[in-house]
Amino acid sequence: MPERLTPPCWKSLWKLWLAAVVLAGLSLAGCQTAPPATGLSPAQVAVLKQEGFALTDEGWELGLSDKLLFGFNEDLIDAERAANVQRLGRALKGAGIERLRVDGHTDDAGSAEYNQSLSVRRAEAVARLLGGAGFAPENIEVRGRGKSRPVADNRTAAGRSENRRVAIVVSVE
């Protein structure tokens, strides 16, 4: 007659089974997939960081409020700032970045329709400079954001000035 397992033996088997499950779980944890690739190489990310871009929900963004401000009701870029945009474009192009988005912004003075149009013209002015730095026009998306995304308080002259800007965005996809 076969020998029956006694309760102490069940305890040993239970511990052995539990240890096997824990080890299997730990083994599988080591096989997790890597986080999704950003589509940018480490060298490209390094250039973006060096140029002052910051990772946001929309991609790597350079808010040009400190570097590229527009005067009230203006969409023209002075020669010094134009040279900076072209230098930036050459640096990005040299890092192998091929696609950009340029978002134009305004302060809250004026009608929504006018500010939308002005923000597009500002973005187009920067896009033309980036095109001169080697970016194909079809690889530059231009968006006018109007007064919808202020970075500063529009109740002050200094705040309104900061909101008259362009942002350059490099997508992570």
The residue type at 102? V
Say if CB 168 and CB 101 are below 8 A apart. Answer: yes
**Residue 35: per-residue pLDDT:** 42
**Residue 5: per-residue pLDDT:** 54
Helical (H) or strand (E) element with 172: none
**Residue 64: per-residue pLDDT:** 61
**Residue 23: per-residue pLDDT:** 52
**Residue 19: per-residue pLDDT:** 53
Q: What distance in Å separates the CA atoms of residue 81 and residue 97, rounded to the nearest whole number?
A: 21
**Residue 172: per-residue pLDDT:** 80
| Full set of structural domains in the chain with CATH | 42-170 (3.30.1330.60)
β-pairing, 59-63 vs 54-56, is: antiparallel
**Residue 32: per-residue pLDDT:** 47
**Residue 26: per-residue pLDDT:** 47
| Parts of the chain with a pLDDT under 50 | 10, 26, 28-29, 31-37
Provide the whole-model pTM: 0.75
